[in-house]
């Protein structure tokens, strides 16, 4: 499974999504770039999202309490901010991160996320660049990059999610298959990501496991598309 569309956030949460947007853009302005990005097409940044009041509202509004204390738990949130007409090069998340839960805060129908099989990456001559595990937390999250394919938007792909990346869309993403994303609009693209762990600590559930848990427990304020 590459992704699973779960639905759209209820209009009752419009204020919450707007407050997340304002906070995300503030974080973008405040966060210095960790390195010079030579690739104009890959200027997205991932920023820890930990404003306590907003995180509390988010968790209480969307995740039933069972997600706080049982086998698969919400652990933290990040925001992916991509300036107009840029995205993120092909990568797998973290060292062994398998899945995540995304909410589009700002986005358009023309934006995309694409996945690429290992065989495709090999056929492109893609070179895996693994950052040191002792690097900062931020770098850790980008530890499996294909850095030598700066023209990633022009490459063939295995699977694509597009047309539905509108504000409020909620989906699960398989982060353990090579993927990239791109903002095809004149505004910032903002995606709020929730991460989960399962026992033993520091293990991340596969997207199928996370999907099964969500089907079992349900979500709050998420309506079918």
Under the rule (CB under 5 A), what is the footprint of Fe ion? 93, 175
Which two structure tokens, joined as six digits, stand for 75? 């652990």
Cα(148)–Cα(193) distance, integer angstroms:
26
Closest approach of Fe ion to the CB of residue 114, in Å: 11
Cα(159)–Cα(115) distance, integer angstroms:
5
* Residue closest to 181 by CA, chosen among 100, 112, 93: 112
142 or 188: CB nearest Fe ion = 142
Closest approach of Fe ion to the CB of residue 193, in Å: 9
Q: At what angle do helices 14-30 and 52-62 cross, to 10 degrees?
A: 140
Closest approach of Fe ion to the CB of residue 179, in Å: 6
Closest approach of Fe ion to the CB of residue 92, in Å: 7
100 or 219: CB nearest Fe ion = 100
175 or 183: CB nearest Fe ion = 175
Pairing relation of β-strands 99-106 and 3-9? Answer: unpaired
13 or 45: CB nearest Fe ion = 45
Q: Which residue in the shown chain puts its C-beta closest to Fe ion? A: 93
Query: 3-state SS string over 141-176?
Result: CCCEEECCCCCHHHCCCCEEEECCCCCCEEEEEECC
Closest approach of Fe ion to the CB of residue 216, in Å: 26
106 or 113: CB nearest Fe ion = 113
């Amino acid at each position: 499974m590459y992704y699973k569309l779960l639905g759209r956030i209820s209009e009752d949460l419009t204020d919450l999504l707007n407050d997340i947007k304002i906070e995300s853009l503030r974080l973008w302005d405040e966060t210095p770039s960790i390195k010079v990005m030579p690739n104009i097409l890959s200027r997205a940044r991932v920023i820890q999202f930990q404003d306590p009041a907003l995180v509390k509202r988010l968790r209480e509004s969307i995740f039933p309490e069972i997600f706080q204390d049982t086998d698969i738990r919400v652990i933290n949130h990040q925001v992916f901010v991509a300036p107009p007409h840029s995205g993120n090069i092909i990568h797998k998340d973290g060292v062994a991160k398998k899945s995540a839960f995304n909410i589009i805060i700002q986005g358009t129908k023309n934006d995309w996320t694409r996945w690429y099989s290992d065989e495709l990456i090999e056929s492109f001559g893609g070179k895996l660049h693994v950052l040191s595990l002792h690097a900062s937390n931020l770098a850790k999250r980008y530890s499996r990059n294909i850095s030598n394919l700066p023209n990633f938007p022009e490459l063939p792909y295995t699977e694509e999610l597009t047309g539905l990346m509108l504000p409020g869309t909620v989906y699960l993403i398989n982060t353990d298959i090579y993927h990239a994303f791109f903002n095809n609009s004149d505004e910032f693209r903002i995606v709020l990501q929730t991460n989960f762990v399962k026992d033993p600590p520091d293990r991340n559930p596969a997207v199928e496991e996370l999907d099964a848990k969500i089907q079992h427990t349900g979500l709050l304020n998420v309506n079918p598309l």
